[in-house]
């Protein structure tokens, strides 16, 4: 009988594989991103989150250093496990900014109480702020999304489900949400025999402009020849299609007019994707591939690798580690501490 490797041996094997792959990535052709604008806050501001809206605008939430600590708080169990909190221990004053690419709007929110948030612009100069986690209680689930008006007043609270991994809205106000493993299979009180099934059990759910679920990815036996979503769905939403790539088999899947089609794909674990015609760019993929971009061409049923690149800043410096990467349409957006970079598929000649 073959002896199973120990956890230490397995980790060492993974480390060596990562080193080999990293050397391969460092030999790839270099492709610089383009600087598009500045996205810094005012003096003393600390950015909590940033996203890209359906019009290509950057929307950010800012607060103080103390406020960010509250908005990103975690609870450590007696056994040492760390769990993201669903809410702050006190209301936090925050600001929502919109850059396109210059600063076009500033909205003050006086009593932000959600933790681990993301933000999206909504029709009517409103903003949706959603917390990643959502507990189910016997008297009902916690609201984990708040709609704010242009003056920063809370209009309504909503339940979008637990373990939100990705969230993007379109210009009509439909909101697409992708869920991680805990949101699909259940945690934080969801998914037990005596509780509700997780909102995110299908992996991807579309919410109406009123923020009610109105479509979801088909069930496992209806999705086609691709594995169902188990974890880590990327999203790229525009007004014609939604694209996703997800664990476990990382197919490229397109949702158009509520119909699903897809392509088998050999690029594992991308953090973001961009699409133009039959070309799909997949960025990232683990520690060794964190700055790798794989360009693929869609065939009949498979995405064929057409080129690989290593992305860098305009001056050739590496992308900062703490960079938010978002795909919208044909563009990848790279948001660093105070700068906004882009890469369009038209920038890639391969």
Domain region containing 339? 229-350
For residues 172 and 252, membership in a common domain is answered with no
| Least confident range of 5-9, 288-292, 324-328 | 5-9
The pLDDT score that the predictor gives to residue 77 is 83
Q: Each residue of 268-286: pLDDT tens digit?
A: 999 999 999 999 999 998 8
Q: Which strands make up the sheet holding 175-179, listed edge to edge?
A: 164-169, 175-179, 204-207, 213-216
Q: Each residue of 27-40: pLDDT tens digit?
A: 999 999 999 999 98
Structural domain contains residue 160 = yes
CA dihedral 200, 204, 206, 210 (to 10 degrees): 30
For residues 64 and 94, membership in a common domain is answered with yes
Residue 105 phi, psi dihedral angles, 5° rounding: -160, 145
β-bridge partners, 119: 129
For residues 49 and 124, membership in a common domain is answered with yes
Per the document, the length of the chain is 350
Structural domain contains residue 340 = yes
Q: Is residue 221 over pLDDT 90? A: no
For residues 236 and 209, membership in a common domain is answered with no
Structural domain contains residue 22 = no
Q: Is residue 231 over pLDDT 80? A: yes
Structural domain contains residue 27 = no
| Percent of the chain scoring above 70 in pLDDT | 97
Q: Which two tokens stand for residue 210?
A: 């009123």
Structural domain contains residue 14 = no
Structural domain contains residue 6 = no
For residues 195 and 249, membership in a common domain is answered with no
Q: Which two tokens stand for residue 94?
A: 């925050």
CA distance 245 to 258: 17
Helix (H, G, I), strand (E, B) or coil at 254: strand
CA distance 178 to 22: 29
For residues 189 and 299, membership in a common domain is answered with no
Q: Which two tokens stand for residue 276?
A: 């133009």
CA angle, residues 31, 46, 211, in degrees to nearest 5: 85
Q: Is residue 194 over pLDDT 80? A: no
For residues 173 and 249, membership in a common domain is answered with no
The pLDDT score that the predictor gives to residue 220 is 62
Contact 250, 232 (CB under 8 A): no
What pLDDT band is residue 5 in, cutting at 50, 70 and 90?
confident
Q: Each residue of 92-102: pLDDT tens digit?
A: 999 999 999 99
How is 124-154 classified by DSSP, letter by letter?
TTEEEEEES---EETTEEPP-EEEE-TTS-E
Give CB contacts under 8 A, 24+ apart, made by 214-220.
Answer: 214/174, 215/258, 217/255, 217/260, 218/260
For residues 203 and 242, membership in a common domain is answered with no
What pLDDT band is residue 265 in, cutting at 50, 70 and 90?
very high
Q: Is residue 163 over pLDDT 60? A: yes
For residues 42 and 72, membership in a common domain is answered with yes
CA distance 320 to 317: 9
Distances in whole angstroms, Cα of residue 61 to Cα of each of 114, 117, 139, 152, 164: 12, 9, 31, 12, 17
- Alpha-helical (H) ranges within the chain are 7-26, 65-71, 181-185
Structural domain contains residue 9 = no
Q: Each residue of 283-322: pLDDT tens digit?
A: 998 889 999 999 999 999 999 999 999 999 999 999 998 8
The pLDDT score that the predictor gives to residue 124 is 96
For residues 266 and 208, membership in a common domain is answered with no
How many structural domains are present in the chain?
2
Q: Which two tokens stand for residue 268?
A: 């594992």
CA distance 232 to 218: 17
Helix (H, G, I), strand (E, B) or coil at 70: helix
Q: Is residue 56 over pLDDT 60? A: yes
Contact 161, 199 (CB under 8 A): yes
Structural domain contains residue 221 = no
- 138-145 mean pLDDT: 94
For residues 284 and 341, membership in a common domain is answered with yes
Q: Select from 181, 216, 251 the last residue of a domain.
A: 216
Q: Is residue 186 over pLDDT 60? A: yes
For residues 195 and 237, membership in a common domain is answered with no
Average pLDDT, the chain: 93
């Amino acid at each position: 009988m073959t002896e199973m490797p120990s956890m230490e041996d397995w980790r060492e094997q993974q480390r060596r594989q990562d080193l080999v792959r990293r050397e391969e990535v460092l030999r790839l052709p270099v492709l610089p991103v383009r600087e598009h604008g500045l996205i810094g806050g005012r003096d003393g501001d600390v950015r909590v989150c940033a996203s890209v809206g359906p019009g290509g605008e950057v929307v950010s939430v800012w607060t103080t250093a103390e406020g960010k600590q509250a908005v990103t708080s975690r609870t450590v169990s007696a056994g040492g496990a760390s769990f993201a909190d669903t809410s702050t221990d006190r209301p936090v004053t925050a600001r929502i900014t919109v850059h396109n690419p210059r600063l076009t709007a500033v909205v003050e929110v006086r009593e932000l109480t959600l933790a681990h948030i993301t933000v999206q612009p909504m029709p009517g100069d409103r903003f949706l702020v959603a917390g990643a986690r959502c507990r189910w209680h016997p008297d009902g689930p916690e609201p984990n999304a708040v709609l704010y008006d242009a003056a920063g007043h809370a209009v309504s609270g909503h339940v979008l489900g637990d373990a939100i991994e990705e969230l993007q809205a379109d210009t009509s106000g439909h909101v697409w949400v992708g869920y991680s493993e805990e949101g699909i299979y259940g945690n934080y009180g969801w998914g037990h025999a005596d509780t509700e099934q997780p909102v995110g059990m299908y992996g991807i759910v579309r919410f109406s402009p009123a923020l009610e679920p109105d479509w979801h990815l088909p069930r496992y036996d209806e999705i086609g020849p691709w594995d169902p979503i188990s974890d880590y769905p990327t999203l790229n939403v525009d007004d014609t299609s939604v694209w996703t790539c997800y664990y476990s088999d990382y197919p490229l899947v397109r949702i158009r007019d509520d119909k699903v089609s897809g392509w088998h794909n050999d690029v594992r674990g991308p953090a973001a994707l961009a699409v133009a015609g039959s070309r799909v760019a997949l960025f990232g993929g683990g520690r060794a591939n964190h700055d790798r971009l794989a360009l693929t061409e869609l065939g009949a049923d498979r995405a064929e690798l057409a080129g690989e690149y290593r992305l860098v800043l305009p001056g050739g410096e590496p992308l900062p580690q703490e960079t938010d990467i978002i795909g919208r349409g044909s563009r990848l957006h790279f948001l660093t501490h105070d700068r906004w970079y882009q890469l369009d598929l038209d920038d890639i000649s391969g």
